[in-house]
Amino acid sequence: MDFSLTPELADFQRHLHSWVDSKLPKAAAREWEAREHEYPVELWDLMAEQGLHAVGLPEEYGGSGVDVLSQVIIGRELSRTLGGLVWIWGLSSFCARSIAESGSEALKADLLPRLAGGEIKIAIAVTEPSGGTDLLGSMRTTARKVEGGWLVRGQKIWSTAAHVSDYLLVLAKSDPDAERPSRGMTLFLIPNPSKGLEIRQIPKLGMRAVGSCEVFLDDVFVPDEYIVGDVHDGWRGILTSLNNERIIVSSLCLGVLDGVLEDAVQYMKERHAFGRPIGQFQALQHYVADMAMWQMQSELAIYRAAWLQQTGQDVGTAATMAKVIASDYATKAADLGIQILGGMGYAQETDMQRYWRDVRLYRIGPITNEMGKNLIAESFGLGRSF
């Protein structure tokens, strides 16, 4: 068994690690995050200059190739310093994958090169206010066929960066008589702005500069050519990216764990109490050992899931396991990091509180860890619990 990266991927990781330290240091992340509700356009542009938006997209559309392991490396290295600000990269990456796999040739030719170059942004708007994880059962947003297109009406919530995105990827119920909810959905690409479209930001605990939004759709007209995938089969277009999303989210959690461990060890070497470095205190050493073990377990689960997807194998359970494992451990590590730093861990001038506020969301979205465990248990042949 070979647990090492290929020489090319190892070189890529080393280069990216150095670039992140130089261009996206933790001090800059604290400054960007301090501008609450102000999207850091300069961060998006830095990522575009580095070609990061092109990773995961087909080369024929201006991408650098569909490489899941490269996406994992990017997610991990960026979140090591950026924490939740990494969503500025991750979000368009998920949306672009849905378009690349389910969009028409015209849509792909028009949008993917611009996505790869960082010229446009796309946000996902699928979650319903009353539903959360119960996406299909709670679907109230509807799409009604009219001449030349569709009228979409309803409301979405927790649409990250919708307020600055050029398009919204919206799932709506288009066939109210479908035998199964998953067969009556259509996936639409809605330009922003559009008549009848309103977007409002939601104040929240973490990831403040990225922006999470409510989306209101009042008979928004969407031309037929802006359908992603087949009519009434939009759920399939979303599913193509769900496993990839869980793998990438798990890599973001691992990156936070890297950053927490990095800061904790440095602080324990520099801080003195009772006449010696606090790194000599056994209790704190145990905290570091726990973090290191959580880091290793998360890494193994994530890279295995990425390898399964990249080699075309069934990855559903492995992707869900990686997400649950990494988000649980990263949240625990950030909490211990605050404990190690003591009062300074609670201060906004350090990164521990930022890591904790940001990573706490990953136990909830894009799927709650409780629901993830239900899916894992079902893979053993147990009956559905929801």
Buried b (16+ CB within 10 A) or exposed e, 116-150: bebebbbbbbbbbeeebbebeeebebbbeeeeebb
Q: Which helix (H) or strand (E) holds 166?
A: none
3-state secondary structure 16-59: HHHHHHHHCCHHHHHHHHHCCCCCCHHHHHHHHHCCHHHCCCCH
Q: Residue 345 corresponds to which tokens in the numbers above?
A: 């861990």
105 assigned to active site: no
Alpha helices in 177-233 (DSSP H): none
6 phi and psi angles, rounded to 5 deg? -65, 160
Distance CA 132, CA 7 (A): 42
Supply the DSSP symbol for 205: S
Distance CA 356, CA 228 (A): 36
Beta bridge partners of 123: 168
Sequence-separated (6 or more) residues with CB below 8 Å from residue 283 = none
Amino acid (one-letter) located at 79? S
Q: Decide: 252 and 90 in contact? Cβ < 8 Å.
A: yes
> Which of the residues 33, 77, 128, 245 is marked catalytic?
245
Please give the sequence-ordered ranges of beta strands (E in DSSP) within the chain, or none if there are none. Answer: 122-125, 142-146, 149-160, 167-173, 185-191, 197-201, 212-223, 227-228, 272-273, 276-277
Residue 99 Cα distances to 126, 136, 165, 223, angstroms: 15, 21, 15, 16
Active-site annotation, residues: 245
